[in-house]
Amino acid sequence: MKRASTATLTALAAGALLAPIAGHATEGALGRPVAGTSVTPNVGVVPDQPVWIANFQEVYLDGSVGGSRPVPVGGRTTAGIDGKLSLTLATMMKVWDTGPGAWNFASAFTLPYIWTTARTNLVVTGPAGGTFSRGNSDRSSNLYDLYFSPIIAGYHFSKTSHMSLSFNIWAPTGQYDKNSLSNPGLNVWTFVPQVAFTHLMPAYGLEFNAVGALQFYTRNNDTNYHNAPLFTLDVMGVKKFGHLGAGIVMGTVQQLGDDSGPTADRLNGFRGRDFSVGPIVTYDTKLGHHPLSMSLRWVPTVASKNRLDSTATVQATATLVF
């Protein structure tokens, strides 16, 4: 018995993705997640038919850690930092032919490209406290670290309630220079176990989605900086009006412990957190005979500590099933 209709084959798409940034509250003040960007419509659904899913995602963020608050970057400390980035992610997902039953399985691979700039507001200091410069700026654009999900397991509780479990990996393939303020890569492996849930209420045109994950970072051997684990939770509620939908997204990133290493120790562990909330609009149609879903969201930061504070976080996605 089919548990997911053709219209919901856009299900997972980039549901396993956690959009990244070039580091704060971890080294650089961000780590990989951007609060409010990992949850998508039908995120907990793995289709019960063997299909390919293509997802294209664009994330823009313009944020800062203002004033003279110290930020660890590249083995040294900056007094305040401003950052902008544009991150483009192209994902291909294969849903495997596992036959009828409550479980379905998929695998995914993401090729990301990043453009980013960083500027220090005040003074840049080194491990011994010596001054490097004032008002430094840097920019970079290149392939970001590769992201892949070897296995995504979906479970169908019913026709309206679904869950997916995945283990995701960021590989340190992007260029990295510890002397740069702006880098295309983070120079660390990141392991991300994740659970996603979707509940549909078709009689009311309502949909609820949630994604929770943990992120575990390896040590940056170039700077001897070790990011503490992060907990992320994004939730979304959407009301459908035919092809159109509108709703709200909320997300949080919470650091579970202190960072470690010489720079982190000087900053008392540089533990961070943030919370974002904003609107989302969706549109479902077809490209020929292939289901196509699009969405646009704005998720500004409403509270943060030791992470980039942004009122200009925008995400656009398009998902095609074939």
Average pLDDT over residues 63-91: 70
CA end-to-end span of the chain: 21
pLDDT digits (tens, 9 = 90+) for 3-30: 434 334 433 333 333 333 333 334 444 5
Statement: residue 47 has pLDDT above 60? yes
pLDDT digits (tens, 9 = 90+) for 190-220: 999 999 999 999 999 999 999 999 999 999 9
Average pLDDT over residues 230-254: 97
What is the dihedral sign for C-alpha 188, 234, 12, 283? negative
| Mean per-residue pLDDT of the chain | 84
Task: Report the pLDDT value the prediction gives residue 23, as an integer from 0 to 100.
Answer: 39
How far apart CA 3 and CA 6 sit, in angstroms, is 10
Task: Report the pLDDT value the prediction gives residue 17, as an integer from 0 to 100.
Answer: 38
Q: Please, are residues 168 and 145 in contact by the beta-carbon 8 Å criterion?
A: no
pLDDT digits (tens, 9 = 90+) for 258-282: 999 887 877 788 888 999 999 999 9
How far apart CA 113 and CA 141 sit, in angstroms, is 7
Average pLDDT over residues 255-259: 92
Task: Report the pLDDT value the prediction gives residue 21, as an integer from 0 to 100.
Answer: 36
Average pLDDT over residues 121-138: 55
- DSSP of 194-236, one letter per residue? EEEEEEEETTTTEEEEEEEEEEEE--BTTTTBBPPPEEEEEEE
- pLDDT over 70 percentage in the chain: 80
How far apart CA 161 and CA 16 sit, in angstroms, is 18
Task: Report the pLDDT value the prediction gives residue 1, as an integer from 0 to 100.
Answer: 37
Task: Report the pLDDT value the prediction gives residue 14, as an integer from 0 to 100.
Answer: 36
Strand pairing of 76-95 and 137-143?
unpaired
Statement: residue 177 has pLDDT above 70? yes
Task: Report the pLDDT value the prediction gives residue 76, as an integer from 0 to 100.
Answer: 57
Q: Please, are residues 12 and 46 in contact by the beta-carbon 8 Å criterion?
A: yes
- DSSP of 69-129, one letter per residue? EEEEETTEEEEEEEEEEEEEEEEEEEE----SSSEEEEEEEEEEEEEEEEEESSEEE-TT-
Name the residue with tokens 């080294």. Answer: 27
Between residues 52 and 131, which one has the greater pLDDT?
52
Confidence bin at 80 (pLDDT 50/70/90): low
Task: Report the pLDDT value the prediction gives residue 106, as an integer from 0 to 100.
Answer: 97
Between residues 10 and 171, which one has the greater pLDDT?
171
- pLDDT over 90 percentage in the chain: 61
Q: Which residues are CB-neighbours of 313 under 8 A, at least 6 positions away?
A: 34, 36, 37, 59, 60, 61, 62, 63, 276, 278, 298, 299, 300, 301
Task: Report the pLDDT value the prediction gives residue 73, as an integer from 0 to 100.
Answer: 59
Q: Please, are residues 163 and 195 in contact by the beta-carbon 8 Å criterion?
A: yes
What is the dihedral sign for C-alpha 178, 180, 185, 190? positive
Statement: residue 314 has pLDDT above 60? yes
Name the residue with tokens 């892949």. Answer: 148
Across 9-23, 53-67, 71-85, 234-248, least confident range: 9-23
Encode 258-274 in three state secondary structure.
CCECHHHHHCCCCCCEE
Q: Please, are residues 86 and 113 in contact by the beta-carbon 8 Å criterion?
A: no
Across 31-40, 134-143, 229-238, least confident range: 134-143
Average pLDDT over residues 211-233: 94
Residue count of the chain, please give it: 322
Task: Report the pLDDT value the prediction gives residue 69, as an integer from 0 to 100.
Answer: 56
How far apart CA 77 and CA 313 sit, in angstroms, is 25
Q: Please, are residues 144 and 17 in contact by the beta-carbon 8 Å criterion?
A: no
Statement: residue 107 has pLDDT above 50? yes
Distances (CA, A) of 267 to 4, 19, 130, 183: 50, 26, 16, 22
CA 213 from chain centre, in angstroms, equals 10
Q: Please, are residues 109 and 92 in contact by the beta-carbon 8 Å criterion?
A: yes
- DSSP 8-state symbol, 13: T
Average pLDDT over residues 173-182: 86
Task: Report the pLDDT value the prediction gives residue 30, as an integer from 0 to 100.
Answer: 54
Task: Report the pLDDT value the prediction gives residue 235, as an integer from 0 to 100.
Answer: 98
